[in-house]
Amino acid sequence: MKTIIIIALSGMLITGCGKKETSAKMEALPVEVAKPVVKDVTLTRDYPGYLTAATSLDIVGRVNGTLLSKNYVSGGRVKKGQTLFVVDPTLYENAVKQAEAGLKTAKANLDYARSNYERMKEAIKSDAVSRIQFIQAESNVETCEAAVSNAEAELKTARTNLSYCYIKSPIDGIADLAEYSDGAYISGEGNPVRLTTIYQDAQLYSYFDISDNQYLAFELLRAADTKIPRADHSVTLRVGTDGSKTWQGKLNYLSPSFSLSTGTMRLRAELDNPDGVLKPGLYVSVTLPYALAEKAVLVDNASIGTDQLGKYLYVVNDSNVVSSRHIEVGQLVDDNMRIVTAGLSPDERYVTKALMKVRQGMKIMPVMK
């Protein structure tokens, strides 16, 4: 009797487990799905380019002498008015002193000549002096005035040359390596010599080239779509291998002609670089808008799979059954959405996650994203 009861209980347990397994198999897998986003999208193309400083100035030596000091860190930032180099000023300080003494003497001679002229002018009224003496006094005033003018010019030149001994930065920026070291003799008088270069990197230019075919398509599309402006295009510049770092710029120059040797046109974009993160010489990718795609169909880029036939999505029908469907895609938008140009309608649902868990013909429990 005990044996019969145990067998009966075992049968009930086995039957109960079988029902649970069958129920589990019948329960649909919850899967996140979404409908495409439909919106107007500005279409773009990427072009390789490079950065240059908007302004760069060569710092030159204009006098002869020994370079006493270099007062900046190569590759470091300098301020407008900062003294970068000092050339031995001894010779030019002496020249200023001599010019000042010469001007003092010339002014004293002029004062005497004018005083003598005034006396002659009074004396000639009473014929106390001859006409020739009066004319000589008048001429002497003119000679002394000319001497003063020459002495003032010499002093101005001497002071200018002395100021050239203290070579200052005319702008804020980054200073390049020095061409001369302390103690070197430079010969800048009459033929200025380059000492270094200052790069003003608060604003940068990016130059890039587009082919004649790209330019024609670009212009035709812009002409056909008035929503794309002809001037002052906003452009995006990307730096780094993954292009994750972006800066906004503005297209401000188109070359008036194509290069006959390359068949390309040079364009330039300008961008602000207030923190100095970007450096002249960096290679960048310039994203240039050229048209507007109205009511574009966009899906999550991570939901797109790839096989030997191309790109595909898992589409969910009204019966919540999954099917694999090949699609045609366009450009990436906002870093995570991809335009679908063919193969998906705006009202259809597609699988956004758990792509490895779904398969063709599988029934799911859709969870709207």
275-284: pLDDT as tens digits = 888 888 889 9
Residues 149 and 220 in one domain: no
> Which candidate, 198, 162, 194, places its Cα nearest to that of 180?
194
Structural domain includes residue 150? yes
**Greater confidence, 119 or 192?**
192
Cα separation of 90 and 96, whole Å? 10
Q: Residue 285 sits in which domain range?
A: 43-53+201-291
Average pLDDT over residues 118-145: 84
Average pLDDT over residues 35-46: 88
Cα separation of 318 and 337, whole Å? 24
**Domains of the chain: total:** 3
Is residue 267 within 8 A of residue 255, CB to CB? The reply is yes
Structural domain includes residue 5? no
Is residue 246 within 8 A of residue 238, CB to CB? The reply is yes
| Tens digits of residue pLDDT in 157-194 | 999 999 999 999 999 999 999 999 999 999 988 899 99
The DSSP symbol for 363 reads B
Structural domain includes residue 227? yes
Q: Confidence class of residue 14 from pLDDT cuts 50, 70 and 90?
A: very low
> Which candidate, 181, 196, 167, places its Cα nearest to that of 83?
167
Domain stops at, among 248, 275, 291: 291
The CA-atom distances, in angstroms, between 87 and each of 48, 160, 200, 206, 234 are 44, 13, 25, 37, 47
Give the contacts of 222 (CB within 8 A, at least 6 positions apart). 228, 229, 230, 290, 291
Is residue 99 within 8 A of residue 73, CB to CB? The reply is no
The CATH number assigned to the domain holding 132 equals: 1.10.287.470
Structural domain includes residue 194? no
Q: Confidence class of residue 5 from pLDDT cuts 50, 70 and 90?
A: very low
Q: Tell me, what's the pLDDT at 12? A: 44
The CA-atom distances, in angstroms, between 112 and each of 125, 137, 344 are 21, 10, 103
